[in-house]
A and B are shown apart, each in its own frame.
Chain A
Amino acid sequence: MEQTQYEKYYVPEQSWWPIVGAVALFLIAVGAGLTVIEISNDESGFSKYILFGGLAILLVMIIGWFRDQINESMSGLYSAQLGRSYRQGMAWFIFSEVMFFAGFFGALFYARVISIPWLGGASNNAMTNEVLWPTFEAVWPLLSTPGGTETQAMGWFGLPLINTLILVVSSVTLHFAHVGVEQNKRQQIVVWLAITIGLGLIFLALQGYEYYYAYDTLGLTLQSGVYGNTFFLLTGFHGLHVTLGAIILIVLFGRILKGHFTPDEHFAFQAGSWYWHFVDVVWLMLFFFVYIL
């Protein structure tokens, strides 16, 4: 505590980026909302350009904001206290992401444990089954919905298992890169980080192929009842997070090549690494509850 008492607080200057980011989110929300409405009405309008414009501004904002942060950090403006603030902020952000996935896992569990058995007459719902869909059979995966949509299930062996191994290995290789940062072994960082990024991209490619296989061969689509709904929303949001994580790792790779990060100060690397481990854990949950069980 003796140290922190005399440490100067760092309060950043005014910045344009937050208001630019607010405008970007506004355009994205308006553009996305109107685009969705147009698609559902089979209209073609200009709303998607609002969406693209918003995304472009958001991209500019992210690049600009991070560039400012990196420059300030590299010029030694930041204090140890600020580093702790960033780490805690990142940890709480990941917690919020956990709760976002918890919402969809909750829907999966509810459908499997409650709504489908009840539609089949479980608990005190014999008449629900009798009156609504007397021929309905409560099984999981739900291959035949009460409304009559048919599909095939995605097995866990084969591609999903390979993808699981890829992500688990990528978490380990990223850890080796992280150790490299802590020991300032640049060669080790570059090699392991490159392998991690490669594994992440292979995962995404295989996931893309799995979606193609689901739609093309299994007839498993987003509209295939609650099994397809939970499958695609859970794996889809996970895939988006892997994409984001891979972009973060690529940016970190570029910074490593420029000689950034020291054993003492590498918040960005730590945050990116936490994020990657987080998407890895989410995948393990997914693999267990969506594919195997």
Chain B
Amino acid sequence: MSTITDTAGNTNEHDHHDDHHHGAPKGIMRWLLTTNHKDIGTLYLWFAFIMFLVGGAMAMVIRAELFQPGLQIVDPNFFNQMTTVHGLIMVFGAVMPAFTGLANWLVPMMIGAPDMALPRMNNWSFWILPFAFLILLASLFMEGGGPSFGWTFYAPLSTTYSSDSTALFVFSVHIMGISSIMGAINVIVTIINMRAPGMTLMKMPMFVWTWLITAFLLIAVMPVLAAAVTMVLTDKYFGTDFFNAAGGGDPVMFQHIFWFFGHPEVYIMILPAFGIISHIIPTFSRKKLFGYASMVYATASIALLSFVVWAHHMFTTGMPVGAELFFMVATMLISVPTGVKVFNWVATMWQGSMTFEIPMLFAISFIVLFTIGGLSGLMLAITPVDFQYHDTYFVVAHFHYVLVTGAVFSIMAAVYYWLPKWTGKMFDIRLAKWHFWCSLVSVNVLFFPMHFVGLAGMPRRIPDYALQFADFNQWISIGGFAFGLSQLIFLALVIKACRKQGEPVTDQVWDGAEGLEWEIPSPAPYHTFDTPPVVR
């Protein structure tokens, strides 16, 4: 697709910063003070993985409680805190930082930039994140408990009826938002301003394109989340009535503001996944991506449509019929560009010389399972039937198919795909196969039966359920425990890879991989490009 010509040749004598070429500094200070995009990418990815395990442990508590009907292990208030913090951690602590970590590692290498555009701010936007989650997790141990109103923190659950510690929740969300906005500004400026000569917009790799659009969404909606939590704070502590009808406000207004943030947010968590899959499928099909331009336009369409569909989360709040119809139709429109993407991936594989290495296994299961999640999303978009499905386990099944077998599988695919480039060594393929097959089977045992209990009317976020749901819930819990354990295989594999165990790999790593990042050495040098490569 593109070749590098190094223009560095005669410019080294003007180099004011020889120390940049000495590789990574040593010790803990390297990580605390770093301005290096690869270091910061690694920090983001490890943080996301740790948070994934913490949030996963909370899911284990939920599934243990739901193993049998009746209240078994935890009291309902603690159960509510587990569902709430599980959601917050997985969204803001696992999936989003993992994608930001991948962007840090990959975007500069893919566009021929030496680093991110604003490297010190990059460090700041990472290091405030662990503090934000420290606050959130610490609030669980306060008197009255932590947040227990669901990750969507609907008023009045988060205002009138929430625990004392809600102020800490509010400020920790503010820090997460600041982190995301700074990270997004960095990505967007890097992509717009730091591309190597010849890297025109329509030559950019799909991962870069999807992240450019994701970053725009982040800057547009994270501030709206900040406004929403601020109003929750003043409603709860300072006597305002934004979400209280007695003062002329409306609790439903909270849902409108929240979902104006929340719906673009779910695309923030899936667009980079689309980019990743658009890299892996062509590599292991040994064909160019089918319909590159249509992929770009489809991504942009999805992003723009995401601003006008938010109220499909609120069909049962008593909106006028005209609004219900508008949001139904707008939501269903999104299936068109999404369908274009799935079509293009399948068309890329069509008549390709396919091989099934680990990243490809994850990518193909992404396409199949994400599409299942997309189809259940279409069902939920139909207003009249949503009245039946709303707040049932069918919704839980839907968004876990798009977020776990969608976003999380794509992140794992990305890690397997680029890990050899990062470490210079092939990961342990035997462990990886175990990880893939255990995850694939258990994740479906975990989430597929949720469709059935949901359609049969089992409500979400309740620690108890009617007896007829017992068998399915036991299966779901067993699948959940198995999926959780399977991730420990991944942990072992990543630790091994970070200790640089394994066979050395070539620069290209995968037969058929194309792009600037595969033309630099493996492992990628600490500083990639001193002067811009020329892309032809």
Contacts and interface: CB of A to CB of B under 8 A. Distances in A.
Contact of B237 (A14, A40, A99): A40
A115 B220 contact: no
Nearest to A76: B16
B245 interface: yes
A60 to B, nearest CB: 15
Nearest to B142: A37
Interface stretch (A211-219, A224-232, A260-268): A224-232
19 contacts: A5-B197, A8-B11, A11-B114, A11-B119, A14-B33, A15-B33, A19-B124, A29-B135, A88-B117, A88-B189, A96-B181, A102-B227, A104-B227, A106-B257, A132-B245, A222-B234, A222-B238, A225-B249, A229-B249
Nearest to B130: A22
Interface residues of B, number: 88
Interface string A90-103: 00110111111011
Contacts of A41: 164
Contacts of B17: 11
A15 B123 CA distance: 9
Nearest to B188: A92
A195 B35 CA distance: 40
B247 A145 contact: yes
Contacts of B123: 15, 18-19
Contacts of A227: 248
Contact of A225 (B174, B241, B534): B241
B205 to A, nearest CB: 20
Contacts of B230: 233
A226 B243 CA distance: 9
Contacts of A187: none
Given A8-B14, A11-B114, A233-B234, 6 more contacts: A7-B531, A9-B114, A107-B257, A146-B248, A228-B240, A229-B249
A49 interface: no
B224 A37 contact: no
Contacts of B529: 9
Interface of B is mostly: helix
B34 interface: yes
B119 A99 contact: no
Contact of A107 (B135, B184, B185, B231): B231
A135 interface: no
Q: Top 8 nearest A-B pairs by Cβ distance?
A: A103-B227, A147-B246, A115-B250, A18-B124, A100-B223, A226-B248, A29-B171, A26-B131
A24 B418 CA distance: 35
B7 A233 contact: no
B197 to A, nearest CB: 5
A12 B119 contact: yes
Interface of A is mostly: helix
B118 interface: yes
Contacts of B132: 29
B64 interface: no
Interface in B213-265: 219-224, 226-228, 230-231, 233-234, 236-242, 245-250, 252-253, 256-257, 260
B127 interface: yes
Contacts of B185: 89, 92-93, 96
B167 A32 contact: yes
A124 interface: yes
Interface stretch (A77-85, A173-181, A243-251, A285-293): A77-85
A88 B178 CA distance: 17
A130 to B, nearest CB: 14
A17 interface: yes
Contacts of A146: 245-248
B229 to A, nearest CB: 10
B245 A1 contact: no
